[in-house]
Chain A
Amino acid sequence: MLSCQDKNTTAEKTNSKQNIPENPVFELLSSQQTGIDFVNTIQNKEDFNIFRYRNFYNGGGVGIGDINNDGLEDIYFTANQGQNKLYLNKGNFQFEDITKKAKVAGSKAWSTGVAFVDINQDGLLDIYVCNAGNQKGDDQKNELFINQGDLTFKEEAQQYGLDESGFTTHAAFFDYDNDGDLDVYILNNSFIPVSSLSFNNKRELRAKDWNLPEDVKGGGDKLLENRDGKFVDVSEKAGIYGSLIGFGLGVTVGDVNHDGYKDLYISNDFYERDYLYVNQGNGTFKEDIMNRSEHTSLSSMGADMADINNDGHYEIFSTDMLPEGDARLKTTTNFENYDLQQLKISRGFYNQFMQNALQFNDGTGHFKEIALFSGVAKTDWSWGALLFDMNNDSYKDLYVSNGIKQDLTNQDFIDFFADEVYQKMAISGKKTAQDSIINIMPSHPISNYAFINQGDLTFKNKTYDLGFDIKSFSNGAAYADLDQDGDLDLVVNNIDSEAFVFQNNSEDKNYLNLNLKFKTPNVFGIGTLVNAFVDNQIISNEVMPTRGFQSSVTYQLHFGLGDKQNIDSLHVIWPNAKFQTLKNIKANQNLNVSYDSLKTSDYNYSKPQSNSKLFDIVKPEIKSHKEDFYVDFDHEGLIFKMQSREGPTISLGDINGDGRDDVFMGGAKGQAAQLFNLKGENISSENQRLFNEMSKYEDTASVFADIDNDGDLDLILGAGGNFKDETKQLYNIRILKNNGQGIFELFQSLPNPYNTSVIQAYDFDQDGDEDLFIGNFSVPGTYGIDPKSKLLENDGNGEFTDITEQKAYDFKDLGMVKDAIWHDFNNDGIDDLVVVGEWMHPMFFKNNGRRLEQFDTNLNPYKGLFNAVMALDLNKDGQKELVFGNYGQNFKLQPSLNQPAKLFINDFDDNGTIEQIITRSINGKDKPYQLKRELANQIPNIKKDNMSYKKFAEQSIADLFGKDKVNQAITKELTELASFVAFKTSANEYNIKYLPQEAQWSSIHALNSIEIDDDAFILAAGNFYHFKPQFARLDASHGHLIGFKQDNFYLKKDTNFKINGEVRSLKTTTDKNNNHFILVGRNNDKPLIFRYEE
């Protein structure tokens, strides 16, 4: 289980600069030892500083490569204001600064990225240096240092057409058109003030067409094609955006869909969304991120692409700036407000959230974002990201370099410090430049992060254990096996402190180092993919030096092999789609492989196999479920999610007695309910007037039942929504009777002033008629206050009476109900009731045929945000298991038994309305999850004596409001957000088994089951998008078919059971011909019918 680990995070320990264990895996070597004394010193100048230059604190990069082919990799650092430096590796971690004689210091004012590439194909690595900075008298042209073979270099960028003069962040050399030579993507970052853009989407407007002075344009991104050694701009024709709104900070190359053509991930700082360019194989790219990922990071900086689960497909990791610790979060962070985010989405900027993004590749080049699940979402103000195997266990680990020399977003600086300086200037009459406020911006060096891959798509923060807990402002980083001892060492470029050189001291682990040699015009084999097959795993590595942030890693491929002494087979797939296989490779060696056409054969880049068409998929010819503009947050300022986006409800039943099931789908507010058949044909009859008349109800619950025992199916409807000011009647339970021909008439309308979530019919008192459980979720407009759920008794004619007080008194303890089932959990032949909901544990009510009584089980500690429950005999032992659909583990809140999240509800400011305050447990204190602005908007008086963000960050909820207010509050808890199955072991005890990982990547809102080839499968689907921006979205579910064998769950993946959107209901039925149907109700979308023929 992942748990919410928010204790002393590395970012918040400020007492010492270094915190290193004895004999760390990565040993920081001193400059005395290595001779590497490079410091990227940044000094404010009056005409050049963070005010004048947005990227003033972005820092430099690291390039590693063997410039003299002596088998020892050399290191190049870029400096922003100082001189770039080249250090020659003399072995034993001793380096010599040869910058001067090598003539590679560079002549430009501000260097950024670096790429090692053999541009002239003489077998010697040249150095391409990117420049930016926009300083007077400087043309910031990129430089190309051509290796002369005698440890000297000559600058010849212009000769090659590589003297790009934009504000370049980085460049990646790769073969985009598979013509054998190396092209280049140049990532430029324009100078245009972001705030002058007003969220206009000018993605299509190329840099040259902007009506702006040339010196602020900065170029726009470019793709240059190599034509006989000269580089020519082909961006426009290749489909590369070249707008000034793309504030590019990372370019990452790799084949995400395994079609043999290199794709590109461009991470863009704030504003513009990231780009995923999918290579079309015809010299053009298609920017396709909106079809391939549900959301991305917002202020994307560096990124990396690598296979983290050894399945042969690349994941993408991009960095952002979300702090991990509560104090740092509260003092430096302000999330976008909901309205602004909606504006941006409407302008085409897509779903961007402030957090690192880990895009999991589903094998087809489509992604699910799982950074929160994996534990790598929060690394503060981050730059470089590198995925490499730190501990030689065959899985790629994650290193993130971070830190910003001054906290540009320090909230106290924004609201107070800056203005104080301004006031002083105004009073003293000294109109010194605004630059002087720079000096009062707080500065906090922070530790970089390192995460060890657990082999199951989760990572553990091992920053301290590995020896990386050192406070710094770190930017570019690169890895290589500098001492050729079989593990990857790490070099990091820092602002204002010496570069880190870490020697990797991993022991007792096996490895293979691979040196590849391809042929001209790509001698170093950029783009060569090597798959090592070890047991059932594929360890993939690719020669692609440009990685992370402004940096260039080793050309040597490194394979950590864990305890394996042997590689079964090694596939080397050369850039020309020829491959060769090497068998039985011994571990722990440096292996040289040169391309030899005689040893290769054609590699078949087969398109990913389309999944079996297990189902026919039909989109019914009816109107889409459509939500209105209502924004719950406008009415309840402190809630974290909307309660008004719960429909549609779907029910199945043969309403006209023709032997075929029909489908009822409820309407959203302002929309009539609809009927259709299993072929997807609209069968809403004109005579069905009632549905139109009731369109003002938001239908959220429905059930078919023959309530008057006349042989036809009647319909019971529950309403929902979150309109506080709505007339209460619009939440009534409506009892509709079937006239025998499938036309419904209103028989009874029962007051129920709540947001109804579920209605389940059952003859609870065994008197021959269907009674009803009415599950209510919320009191409209007041989240957190428990509504009353009800038991209604049928008088035999379909007239219902509320008998909750008499027969189900224990319902008083029911909270915010989302789902319920009648289920005989005590095997007495009468169905009992199981109820789930938000901020509550599963509730069991024993039915003795006379009344329902609460029944405690060992599931009581499991308090979640449950949306669904189902009973199903998975192990065929005759006893049904209970399946619980929860929020999953890819969510901002990650509570545990020891560190619960809590919801406190009280009138904290005595103004007659309630406030809802969510807290997380940090060091035993309940700290508000809401940031100061959000809380103060509702309760201004929290600012009393907590005016500064720093002070506010220290306060627990009790500190803010006093113990009495907190003790008197209604308090709810979350301890478990994973979805699970409960296997009954005794009368009141269950064994819990968590659903598979992928089912935990999003919320499950609907459950059902289906039999395929005599195997029972759980159908699970969900997603929820309507959170405040700080909670991102739950969007990584496309529906799951979950089987159970040998006591283990497994996912049936090879089918076309794939659902986009937010699923709210799943119903199944089987027709006379044994066709199985799955009906899927989707919020704000059309339903889907999956048909499966046995």
Chain B
Amino acid sequence: MKTLKYLILLFIAVFLGCEPKQNIEVTPDDYHSALDKLTEIMVYDIFSPPVASRVYVYPSIAAYEIVVQDTTNNYNSLSGQIEHFSAIPKAKNLSEVNLNMASVMAYLNVGEELIFSTQKIKTYRDSVYKKWSKSSKFNSSLDYANKVSEHIIEWSKQDNYAQTRTMPKFSINTEDPSRWVPTPPDYMDGIEPNWMKMRTFVLDSASQFKPEKPTPFSIEKDSQFYKEVMQVYNTVNKARELGDKSEMIEIAQFWDCNPYVSTHKGHMMFATKKITPGAHWILINKITSQKAGFNFAETARSYAYLTIGVYEAFISVWDEKYRSNLIRPETVINRYIDEQWTPILQTPPFPEYTSGHSVVSGAASEVMTDIYGDDFYFEDTTEVPYGLPVRSFNSFREAGKEAMMSRLYGGIHYMPANKNGLKQGQKVGQYVIKNINL
């Protein structure tokens, strides 16, 4: 008996006191899983699409810049490519650092800074670190990740985000019939009316890819604008006729990507929340990078590349939105054609032209085509957690086009906002491809 007791004690001492350090491999799945956690918190915390693009991009850059430190990857740092971005600190003892681990650590650190429900990220990190702390490189990796995170966070603070909070909100001018006004059911203020004042990474200005002007507003029956309004009206009516299972409605809902859809029942109200357009593409990258068999560094690179494209696209489209300040189809139709009409999707709270999702899809599909090639079949399961089906695509551009059309089917955009938006986004994407070399 005694001996057994002794043996057990010894056993415990060996395991707890002198636990052997392990060599822990940090895989792309660890990155994906951190991304999923960040996404989940972003949905919970309710970030509007432009702000969400900001929350994604800084952690992704932090993670990427760390893998760049592994010279065998042959990747280029963004410092020197993004004018205002200075190189991250070097690791003192690079050999002691697990760069993949530090990369995910920095991703979580920077993410934590940008979201609100920090406890959720802390809890997640604790569970991951519990496993990683067994690694002999854990402490050095964490030190390094902290240093890099600090550097990135400092840099993020200079992007005008804080300043744009107190800038003027969108002013309703009731005398201009073409001017955007808040839409049912929430009549929320126009969101992010100063997003064009955000610092860009590569675009020379928010207006660099200013699209052509929207069709001049007119409610004359033979005007081009009226025809475009009627196209939305008729398309939605047709889709309704065909029912919920019709392809048009399925496409509309699949690409809805509205982070805050509210339901009103009398005095009762509640929101259902989903990922944003940018998040949809970023999560597609999770699927495709896995399918392509990317290693950790390739994964980190693809996310950084894509999130920069998405971030730039939002600045570009928001610039146009609050330049043209165009009224939404729902308002025009309710005012002049059919006061009972509602779109299939809830009209998002900002001006119509150009379509945010189209611009972002244009930019994202170009960047992803650059990463994976034009002919890349994938099954998009991104929206499954939100109760939507799987859709498959033969290429990113095909997906981008479908996302663009979803805005017409959803009844929230006229066609020029979609077409010109997609073009605008493609230009942004191509410019990003041309001007940064990851």
Q: List residues of chain A with CB under 8 Å of any chain B CB.
A: 50-51, 54-55, 193-196, 198-200, 269-270, 299, 321, 337, 339-340, 342-343, 346, 408-409, 413-419, 422-423, 425-427, 431, 434, 437, 441, 629, 631, 633-635, 637, 909-913, 915, 937-941, 943-945, 947
Contacts and interface: CB of A to CB of B under 8 A. Distances in A.
A813 to B, nearest CB: 28
Interface of B: 44-46, 116-119, 162-163, 165-166, 168-175, 181-182, 184-185, 187-189, 262-273, 334, 339-340, 342, 385-387
Contacts of B188: 337
A225 B63 CA distance: 78
Given A427-B385, A912-B163, A947-B117, A196 B187 contact: no
Contacts of A54: 265-268
B118 A944 contact: yes
A913 B163 contact: yes
B44 A634 contact: no
B368 to A, nearest CB: 26
Contact of B185 (A55, A195, A635): A195
Given A422-B272, A913-B163, A339 B182 contact: yes
A631 B387 CA distance: 42
Contacts of B119: 945
B387 A426 contact: yes
Contacts of A943: 45, 116
A247 to B, nearest CB: 9
Contacts of B174: 342, 346, 629
Nearest to B169: A634
A54 B266 CA distance: 5
B187 A337 contact: yes
A864 B271 CA distance: 41
A637 B169 contact: yes
Given A200-B339, A418-B271, A940-B165, A629 B184 contact: no
A321 B189 CA distance: 24
A629 B165 contact: no
B148 to A, nearest CB: 22
A909 B171 contact: no
Nearest to B262: A414
A631 B334 contact: no
A704 B271 CA distance: 59
B184 A195 contact: yes
A911 B267 contact: no
B273 A419 contact: yes
Contact of A437 (B270, B385, B387): B270
B385 A408 contact: no
B265 A193 contact: yes
Given A343-B172, A910-B162, 4 more contacts: A50-B268, A339-B182, A418-B271, A419-B270
B164 to A, nearest CB: 9
A434 B268 CA distance: 13
B283 to A, nearest CB: 15
Nearest to A914: B166
Q: Which 10 A-B pairs have the closest CB atoms?
A: A54-B266, A426-B387, A418-B270, A911-B162, A408-B268, A943-B116, A195-B264, A195-B185, A913-B166, A340-B187
Contacts of A346: 174
Given A270-B267, A409-B269, A938-B166, A340 B182 contact: yes
B45 to A, nearest CB: 6
A198 B184 contact: yes
A664 B136 CA distance: 85
A414 B271 contact: yes
B165 A50 contact: no
Most chain B CB within a 10 A radius of its CB, from A441, A911, A939? A911
Nearest to B115: A944
A938 B165 contact: yes
A367 to B, nearest CB: 26
B116 A944 contact: yes
Nearest to A633: B169
Residue with the greatest number of chain B CB neighbours at <10 A, chosen from A198, A431, A437: A198
Contact of A415 (B46, B181, B334): B46
Contacts of A413: 270
27 contacts: A50-B268, A193-B265, A198-B334, A337-B188, A339-B182, A340-B182, A340-B187, A408-B266, A409-B267, A409-B268, A413-B270, A414-B271, A416-B44, A419-B271, A425-B387, A427-B385, A431-B387, A629-B174, A629-B175, A631-B171, A912-B162, A912-B163, A937-B165, A937-B189, A938-B165, A944-B116, A947-B45
Contacts of A911: 162-163, 165-166
Scoring A321, A422, A910, A912 by chain B CB atoms within 10 A of each residue's CB, the highest score goes to A422
Contact of B265 (A51, A631, A637, A910): A51
Could you say which of A415, A635, A937 has the most chain B C-beta atoms within 10 Å of its C-beta?
A415
Contacts of A941: 116
A915 B188 CA distance: 22
A426 B383 CA distance: 10
A418 B261 CA distance: 12
Nearest to B188: A337
Nearest to B268: A408
A342 B172 contact: yes
Contacts of A419: 44, 270-273
A633 B273 CA distance: 28
Contact of A939 (B165, B169, B172): B165
Nearest to A247: B266
Contacts of A431: 387
B40 to A, nearest CB: 9
Contact of A635 (B118, B168, B172, B271): B168
B266 A194 contact: yes
Contact of B170 (A417, A434, A634): A634
Contacts of A634: 168-171
A419 B258 CA distance: 13
Given A634-B168, A944-B116, A947-B45, A55 B266 contact: yes
A1019 to B, nearest CB: 36
Nearest to B168: A635
Contacts of A940: 116, 165
Contacts of B45: 943, 947
Residue with the greatest number of chain A CB neighbours at <10 A, chosen from B118, B119, B265, B334: B265
B180 to A, nearest CB: 11
Contacts of B265: 50-51, 54, 193
A418 to B, nearest CB: 3
Contacts of A939: 165
B271 A415 contact: yes
A268 to B, nearest CB: 13
A937 B118 CA distance: 19
A909 B162 contact: yes
Contacts of B171: 629, 631, 634
A189 to B, nearest CB: 10
B188 to A, nearest CB: 8
Contacts of B44: 416, 419, 947
Nearest to A781: B168
Contacts of A342: 172, 174
A416 B46 CA distance: 9
A193 B264 contact: yes
Contacts of A340: 182, 187
A769 B393 CA distance: 86
Contacts of B46: 415
Nearest to B187: A340
Which of A54, A195, A427, A631 has the most chain B CB within a 10 Å cutoff? A195
Contacts of A50: 265-266, 268
B166 A637 contact: yes
B63 to A, nearest CB: 22
A342 to B, nearest CB: 7
A337 B262 CA distance: 16
